[in-house]
Structure 1
Amino acid sequence: MLRIFLALFVSASLSACMFTPREGPLSTEIEKQSTQNDYLVVDVDSTIVDGLSRFNPVGLHTQFTTTSQRLPVSTVGTGDVLSVTVFEADQGGLFSGAGGNKAEFPHVVVDNKGEISLPYSGTIKVKGKTPLQIQNLVVESLEGKAIQPQAMVNVVRNENNVVTMSGDVTKPGLYPLSNKGIRLLDVVAQAGGTKFPARETYIILMRGSRQGVQLLETVMDQPDENIYVSRGDRIYLSHDPQRYTVLGAVQKPSVYTFNSSTVSVLEAIAAAGGLNDNRADATGVFVFRYEEPKVLDTMNIHYTRQVRGKVPTIYRINMKHAQSYFYAQSFHLQDKDSVFVSNARSVEIGKLLQLMNMATSSVRNIAVTGKNLEIYD
């Protein structure tokens, strides 16, 4: 009976060795499982690094390319208050009086039909017109009535030419636009700026049916992204810190926040305390990412599977090669990326030998106990 028990114990112990606990898959397992087309494994080299660095996400400048670098045209809308002054060339005209050959109308309100009404001119449609265009309309309405009329139109109070600021700003609200044009960062400054660091804040611009998103720090660093705003724009600032995860055979696995606008794989590993010398497989440093298909297309990488429009992609860096440190330094992480360092196969073998040693030690102990029992019998 004792021999049967010992045999069963040894068999169970050896079976358990096949399921030793570990934090994640081995490097070979990641590559083997990719053949099932669940994800794509890409070995990082100079071509991949260059391809990724050339790809720039669609920013505000590209999204609003037709208006981003052009001064917006200030037009009149419903509720605006205009100042209209009409001049005549000689005495005896419609507007002659003690004040000279002119008439001033300092508070002309644009009604809900987008129209204004002036003496002798009648009703004039002004909605969507610039002050200069309105001047010409006033002059045309007085032709044949006044003596060589001229007009001057100014916007006294602009109720329509505004943008909306909301979200994580100090003073959300409506902000008027000047005739000389105003850029995105100017409006943010008028609203008191963001409540959080620029590298943790996204700026969302909505213009009609179009929407663009950009990191506020990028808008500050890249002048092209600091576009002109237009009437009716809705600007929303959102505090959303960028994060990445480092797991596996590193000293301090954890979730980390970007401490600058860019973080490389090398910097991420250093932030996690570096590779664990006793466990890490230097050939198996991986970056897990849902990649944009157009990024892979530009590098001529074939893929078959997509999840919510993106491709599950694992970038592999072999840190045993010296040049790979340059690749890791140039490979910039994105928000929600995961860096995983796999265990070396020798670690798994060591676990197996340790379990086998525990099993044989237990067998010896049981054998000794059995002999002692036989002696007592």
Structure 2
Amino acid sequence: MSVEIEQQSVQNDYLVVDVDADIVDGLNGFNPVGLGSRFRKSGNYTPISAVGVGDILSVTVFEADNGGLFSGESGNSANFPNIVVDRDGQISLPYSGAITVKGKTPVEIQNLVVSSLEGKAIQPQALVNVVRNESNVVTLNGDVTKPGLYPLPTKGARLLDIVALAGGTKFAARETFVTLQRGKRQGVQLMKTIIEQPNENIYVSRGDRIFVSHDPQRYTVLGAVQKPSVYTFDAATISALEAIAAAGGLQDARADATGVFVFRYEDPAILDSLNISYNKMRLGKVPTIYRINMKHAKSYFYAQSFHLRDKDSVFVSNARSVEISKVLRLLSQATGSVGNVVGTYNRFD
């Protein structure tokens, strides 16, 4: 089997890569494009929550002395508790007229109110608060306890903050993926990675759509193992050696220890980082077979450090003598010459 894979790799347009220390280190050290690099701006960026159409504001105006525009029984101030930002992005206050506030922060709106009252009120001051945030929201759906619309605080909010507001996810972090859509851009990341890597816990922005989905990662073990089957990741990471152990280990009488293979559609960026040549004309991911020769003691360390990914297939090939015995058994069934066939097999064994 090992020889056949090598011989057919050229014509079938797939790669065969022998696993060694450099390959293992390169695979484990590669950082794929995630949410952080796709969406996050440079530096310690905290988004400023600007006012939008439909938001409800509270505006309080203060004057420095009695006898001003806003003087009354309650003092030298006036409170306007429920001012709605209209479809033109404006609000209207007595003596101020229409003020365009869309896209402005509360502090910027305060300055606009004060400017509009200069020369009319006595040394005016203003305080603006967002009572209800109708525009600066994100949408969260999927496998969370409370899906819905969530307003963003003025200080900004990260992905995990929004998920926490929704009561958390319904399933384990290693089985949960987060998809974030922002305009025409989209990114997907494993929840466990977002928790463990701070740069993936990005700030969300107004209008973001977040979808949380339960998608357990799986791998397949086939060939000369005790229990070939499809397995679910029961830990954050599973090595090739652990996958074989989960399948009951190698069948001593059948397995070819030189032919342990991991089949994977590999990201071209990873192959580039490993300096592995491949057909650049091919679009999408590259069919790649990683070969581990378990006859060498050091390969056990490679297999222990070779982490599987979702949808990987581990295949343990049969020893050459097993393949020959299959052919001879077919011959014995066809000719009935059992004695001659057994003798022939003994000479190969």
With structure 1 as the length reference, what TM-score do the two structures score? 0.86
Show the 5 A alignment for 1:38-49. 38-49=13-24
Show CA shifts across 1:152-193 (max 9, x none). 111111111211110111211111222233221221122122
Equivalent in the alignment of 2:68: 93
Equivalent in the alignment of 1:107: 82
- Structure-2 separation of matches of 1:84 and 1:65: 33
> Does the residue aligned with 2:22 lie in a helix, a strand or coil?
helix
1:219 equivalent to 2:194? Answer: yes
- Structure-1 separation of matches of 2:191 and 2:100: 40
Residue segments in structure 1 that go unaligned for 5+ positions in a row = 1-25, 365-377
How many Å apart are 1:65 and its aligned residue?
Answer: 2.3
- Which AA in structure 1 matches 2:63? E
Higher RCO by CA contacts (8 Å cutoff, separation 6 or greater): 1
Alignment RMSD: 1.8
- Structure-2 separation of matches of 1:277 and 1:246: 16
1:326 equivalent to 2:301? Answer: yes
Show CA shifts across 1:317-372 (max 9, x none). 000000001111111111111111111111112223334455564599xxxxxxxx
> Does the residue aligned with 2:114 lie in a helix, a strand or coil?
helix
Equivalent in the alignment of 1:135: 110
Are 1:305 and 1:312, in contact at CA under 8 Å, matched by a contact in 2?
A: no
Equivalent in the alignment of 2:323: 348
Show the 5 A alignment for 1:1-377. 26-66=1-41, 69-304=44-279, 308-358=283-333, 361-362=336-337
With structure 2 as the length reference, what TM-score do the two structures score? 0.92
Count of equivalent residues? 339
CA distance 1:124–1:346, shift in 2 (3 Å): same
CA distance 1:305–1:90, shift in 2 (3 Å): closer
Show CA shifts across 1:183-210 (max 9, x none). 2122112212222222111011112222
- Structure-2 separation of matches of 1:275 and 1:342: 10
Are 1:37 and 1:305, in contact at CA under 8 Å, matched by a contact in 2?
A: no
Are 1:69 and 1:227, in contact at CA under 8 Å, matched by a contact in 2?
A: no
Runs of 4+ in 1 over 6 A off after TM superposition: none
- Structure-2 separation of matches of 1:221 and 1:304: 35
- Structure-1 separation of matches of 2:338 and 2:120: 119
Are 2:332 and 2:338, in contact at CA under 8 Å, matched by a contact in 1?
A: no
**Larger-Rg structure:** 1
Percent of pairs with identical residues: 74
